[in-house]
Amino acid sequence: EVQLVESGGGVVRPGGSLRLSCAASGITFEDYGMSWVRQAPGKGLEWVSGINWNGGSTGYVDSVKGRFTISRDNAKNSLYLQMNSLRAEDTALYYCVRENEGIAPGVFDLWGQGTMVTVSS
């Protein structure tokens, strides 16, 4: 079955850290760029970070630069997001998303169900 399954979310205090993971199955993981997209409760979608197929190119939204690090392990079919110095405004559902260049550059055509991150004291 083609799917992305996120894990690693939870409740953390401001200033704390979490590491999100995304396990891909049913796809040739190394063929695709990947991204993390978040959605705060009742709010819109926000692209957080992206990585190309081999990890050689990464990008971040300004609000997480210097605090979050995206990485991937193609041998393990896995995507990661290391989140440090967490803030209340990072509270959101975090989605792992596949980019499908076969459709169009950067288009997201496969989404996980998300993992919730809550930053609260």
Residue 108 binds another protein, judged by CB under 8 A: yes
Residue 50 binds another protein, judged by CB under 8 A: yes
Residues in 53-92 that interact with another protein by CB under 8 A: 57-59, 61-62
Q: CA 64 → CA 28, 35, 87, distances in Å? A: 29, 14, 10
What is the Cα–Cα distance from 77 to 25, expressed in whole angstroms? 7
Residue 106 binds another protein, judged by CB under 8 A: yes
Angular region, 10: left φ>0, alpha ψ -120 to 50, beta rest: left
Using CB under 8 A, which of the segments 24-32, 71-79, 81-89, 112-120 binds another protein?
112-120
Residue 51 binds another protein, judged by CB under 8 A: yes
